[in-house]
Amino acid sequence: MRFEKRALVPAAPGAVWRLLLDTQAMIACVPGVETIETLSEREFLVAMHVKMSFISARFRVRTAIVEARPPTYLRSEGAGEDATLTSSLKLRSEVFLSELGEQTEMRLLLDVELFGRLGTFGLSAVKTKADRMWEEFGRKLAAKVAP
């Protein structure tokens, strides 16, 4: 599944960039993220909890920054499993930051592959969940940079 999302953040691209690389800020802003363990400067182990309908999953996702061009572009890839549900996922994301006056437009391209029980959900259910998570992330990120 491929998603494209946009959000306006009331800060300069450099400030948004710093937040994207701040693990504590991402724990506070990304819905479902419980912990982020830094494995190296470019690798992280993310523990997250996702609930869709009546299924709840806890993933441990190993994520790597594949390409970075501060402060405008970040590409990452990750994969993880939830052993209790025999579900797994693979993801690839690209984040583009563009200055728009005193704001930053953040554009996200996200490719997600879901396997196992969570993979049985249809595109509309996954899209609805992704939309809600993105809206919550945008609100929390904007609140983090607000004076």
pTM of the complete model beyond 0.75 = yes
Domains in the chain and their CATH numbers? 2-132 (3.30.530.20)
Closest CA to 108 of 90, 124, 123, 130: 130
Residue 27 above 90 pLDDT?
yes
Q: How far apart are the C-alpha atoms of 3 and 89, rounded to whole Å?
A: 15
Q: pLDDT at residue 147 above 70? A: no
Average confidence score pLDDT of the chain: 92
